[in-house]
Amino acid sequence: MKISHDFRFECIRCGNCCTDSNTIVNISSSDILRIKDGLTLTLNELIYVLAFYVFETELNEKDRKKMVISPIKTQKGFAFVGLFKKKTGECYFYDTKNKICKIYNLRPNFCRTFPFSFKRIHKSEIDIFYSNKGVEYCPGIGGDSPLINIEKHLELGNNTLKDMELNEDIINKYNTLVDENKIKPSVKNFLNFLLNNNYPTK
């Protein structure tokens, strides 16, 4: 496909994306499984490194359809799943002293793709752009940074979109089972549903 303009980016390890208190570190189902397996976490340990952001107001169907990642149903209402963040805003896995990610090889797709976002415009065609958060606080964008390898980024984007589609499917299945009273809405039940269904981790 033809990309209409160049993208320049190089991570200078400023840590903004790992420490911004207003950024949720979004995590997909395959990210959860990869981190659990890679760190050999028990269910309780897994719950400890995750954060469930419960919506304070009730969500209607229209609002939910607008969301890029659907929330799951929990005992406290709809909730987004992310990585746990400290009160100061840092991701649980950020090494502040050395300014590195402690789970670099296992990190969520959200972190792998930052500061880019992708959108599917056709079955085999995707668009790439800087994410809003990237534009807001990533100093690695533009300027003298090198041009990105567009093919590699589009491949990453394609894999990420496929992962998000699978994630959507998993969340819809779980939420439907809750609606049908086959599963009680809870964080533990969502994770057990995920762990017991042999979903892929890549």
Give the nearer residue to ligand SF4 in terms of CB position, either 114 or 118: 114
Under the binding rule (CB under 6 A), the answer on residue 135 touching ligand SF4 is no
Give the nearer residue to ligand SF4 in terms of CB position, either 83 or 178: 83
Amino acid letter, 134: G
R_g of the chain computed on alpha carbons: 18
Beta bridge partners of 72: 79
How big is the CA angle at 89 (ends 85 and 94), to the nearest 5 degrees? 65
Under the binding rule (CB under 6 A), the answer on residue 38 touching ligand SF4 is no
Yes or no: say if 18 and 101 are a contact pair by the CB < 8 Å rule.
yes
Stretch that binds ligand SF4, among 70-78, 103-111, 124-132, 170-178 (CB under 6 A): 103-111
Give the nearer residue to ligand SF4 in terms of CB position, either 13 or 184: 13
**Beta strands per DSSP E along 115-183:** 116-122, 125-130
Under the binding rule (CB under 6 A), the answer on residue 7 touching ligand SF4 is no
Yes or no: say if 115 and 17 are a contact pair by the CB < 8 Å rule.
yes
Among 7, 17, 74, 175, binds ligand SF4 (CB under 6 A): 17
Contacts with ligand SF4 by CB under 6 A lie at 11-18, 25, 83, 91, 93-94, 101, 103, 107-108, 111, 114-115, 137-140
